[in-house]
């Protein structure tokens, strides 16, 4: 064992009470930081997951139509009021080519074409306004985890089979196997059989979404062979916005990422991240001050020993390192203990914080990288906090230090 480590360990062991207290301080600090980070990370990923459970990462739509007045704009004598055009339901131009290109593009996991538009669902005298979503179930499954939300039947819209939300089923009073009538504005209509029911967690969507086959939707919405949008799943969740912008630039289509659609959620997440960062910074600062103050006291107490070591040929650098190591050791031991306590807190939280139905509220995320980062930060903090007292120890005048009793 090198001289510096040997002396550092002995000094720590000798000042037992101080050492234990400061390790306890570091432990508490690290436990708070790790626990809060795990909690917030878990909460955030839970929120994002819930949000994206019923949404694609990126949705591609045809560009909006706009008025192109054939007026001489340079002529100041003309007073014109240009009304924006009503946006009719349109297909993406040459969507098969676009789809093939997007599905193969790097950074994109899956793509699913969709034909969607407004319709009425009716049974008997009851009629409800709905949105028809014509999808290829195999492709759609890869983009939205709708299967996890199925409460009855299977997610298999095909032929004249349709999948509806539980709210709509309740409103129309239908069960699996019952038929409902879908009608669109162009008085096209068809009878479909309900083969599945879902609950995506949002009443509005449970009331409005009706999944059908693409073919049926194309017929009802009068878009033969066309699709109204393409849904995409990307690898990098938080890179969705950038990817969307690239796609929009390359294809001239409208590309909207989930980050745009849920701007409020995103800003809430950012605010949370900022506040945890603040807490973490202050806790780290307090821990650093604690380590520094204990070591300052220790340097004063150990003046004589430092003087003797210097007289015996220990250089300033060696004395400096003895105290830096003490700071690092205290921080390291404290952070290991603190991570353990945080892990225990997390599992306690997961056990006791539950929804009314007994399911987990959300799971705090304890990633290995969180521990490693915490240990490294703690180590750096300990060594930095020790810098001042260590410098002071190294600069002690040996003759004076020995004379002090």
Partner 1 sequence: MSAGVLSLADVHKSYNVGTPVEAEVLHGIHLELAAGEFVALVGPSGSGKSTLLNVIGLLERPTSGRVSIQSEDATALDDAGLTRLRGRSLGFVFQFHHLIPAFTALENVMMPLVIERGRPDPEMRERAMGLLDAVGLSAAAGKKPAQLSGGMQQRVAIARALAVRPPLVLADEPTGNLDTHTGDEVFALMRRFNEQHGSAFLIVTHDPRLAARCDRKIELVDGTIVGNAR
Residues that bind partner 1 (CB under 8 A): 1-3, 6-7, 10-11, 13-14, 304-305, 308-318, 397-399, 402-403, 405
Q: How far is the CB of 3 from partner 1 (least distance, A)?
A: 5
42, 363 contact by CB (below 8 A): yes
In the complex, the smallest distance separating the C-beta of residue 322 from partner 1, rounded to whole angstroms, is: 11
Q: Taking a C-beta distance cutoff of 8 angstroms, is the pair 228, 115 a contact?
A: yes
Nearer to partner 1, 128 or 310 (CB): 310
What six digits make up the tokens of 163?
């999948």
Residue 104 or 312: the one with the smaller Cβ distance to partner 1 is: 312
In angstroms, the CA 328 to CA 291 distance is 10
Q: How far is the CB of 22 from partner 1 (least distance, A)?
A: 17
> What distance in Å separates the CA atoms of residue 180 and residue 197, rounded to the nearest whole number?
13
CB of 9 or CB of 370, closer to partner 1: 9
According to DSSP, residue 354 is labeled B
At 398, which helix (H) or strand (E)? helix 398-403
Nearer to partner 1, 290 or 398 (CB): 398
- CA atoms lying within 13 Å on the CB side of residue 308: 7
User: What is d(CA 360, CA 118) in angstroms, rounded to the nearest whole number?
Assistant: 37
Nearest CB to partner 1, comparing residues 246 and 316: 316
* Cβ-based nearer residue to partner 1, 7 or 205: 7
Burial 302-316 (b: 16+ CB within 10 A, else e): bbebbbebbeeebee
Smallest gap, in angstroms, from Cβ of residue 328 to partner 1? 18
Provide, rounded to whole angstroms, the least separation between the CB of residue 377 and partner 1: 29
Separation CA 245–CA 219 (nearest Å): 32
Q: Which is nearer to partner 1, 215 or 304 (CB)?
A: 304
CA-CA-CA-CA torsion sign (154, 155, 159, 161):
positive
Q: Given the complex with partner 1, which of 200 and 299 has the nearer CB atom?
A: 299
Q: State the Rg of the chain over Cα.
A: 33
Cα 66 to the chain's mean position, in Å? Answer: 36
Beta strands 209-213; 126-135: pairing state: parallel
Shortest reach from residue 333's CB to partner 1, in Å: 18
* CA 308 – CA 299 distance, rounded (Å): 13
Residue 245 beta carbon to partner 1: minimum distance, rounded to whole angstroms:
59
Minimum gap (Å) between residue 326 Cβ and partner 1? 12
């Amino acid at each position: 064992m090198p001289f510096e480590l040997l002396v550092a360990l002995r000094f720590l062991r000798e000042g037992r009470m101080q050492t234990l207290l400061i390790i306890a301080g570091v432990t508490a600090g690290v436990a708070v930081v790790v626990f809060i980070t795990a909690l917030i990370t878990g909460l955030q990923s839970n929120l994002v997951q819930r949000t994206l459970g019923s949404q694609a990462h990126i949705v591609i739509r045809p560009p909006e139509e706009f008025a192109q007045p054939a007026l001489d704009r340079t002529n100041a004598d003309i007073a014109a009021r240009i009304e924006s055009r009503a946006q009719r339901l349109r297909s993406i131009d040459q969507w098969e080519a676009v789809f093939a290109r997007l599905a193969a593009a790097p950074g994109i996991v899956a793509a699913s074409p969709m034909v969607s538009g407004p319709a009425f669902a009716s049974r008997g005298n009851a009629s409800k306004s709905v949105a028809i979503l014509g999808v290829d179930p195999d492709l759609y499954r890869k983009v939205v985890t709708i299967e996890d939300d199925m409460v009855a039947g299977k997610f298999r819209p095909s032929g004249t089979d349709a999948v509806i939300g539980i709210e709509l089923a309740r409103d129309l009073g239908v069960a699996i196997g019952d038929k409902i009538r879908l009608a669109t504005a162009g008085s096209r209509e068809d009878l479909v059989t309900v083969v599945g029911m879902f609950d995506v967690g949002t009443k509005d969507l449970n009331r409005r979404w009706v999944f059908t086959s693409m073919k049926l939707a194309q017929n009802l919405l009068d878009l033969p062979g066309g699709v109204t949008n393409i849904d995409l799943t990307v690898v990098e969740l938080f890179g969705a916005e950038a990817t969307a912008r690239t796609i929009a630039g390359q294809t001239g289509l409208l590309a909207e990422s989930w980050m745009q659609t849920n701007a409020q959620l995103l800003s809430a997440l950012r605010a949370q991240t900022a506040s945890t960062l603040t807490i973490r910074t202050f806790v780290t600062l307090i821990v650093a001050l604690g380590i520094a103050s204990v070591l300052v006291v220790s340097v004063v107490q150990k003046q004589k020993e430092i003087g003797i070591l210097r007289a015996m040929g220990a250089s300033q650098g060696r004395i400096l390192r003895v105290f830096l190591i003490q700071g690092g050791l205290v921080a390291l031991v404290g952070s290991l203990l603190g991570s353990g306590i945080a892990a225990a807190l997390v599992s306690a939280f997961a056990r006791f914080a539950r929804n009314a139905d007994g399911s987990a509220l959300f799971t705090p995320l304890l990633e290995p990288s969180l521990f490693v980062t915490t240990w490294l930060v703690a180590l750096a903090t300990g060594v930095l906090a020790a810098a001042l007292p260590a410098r002071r120890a190294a600069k002690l005048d040996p003759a004076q230090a020995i004379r002090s009793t």
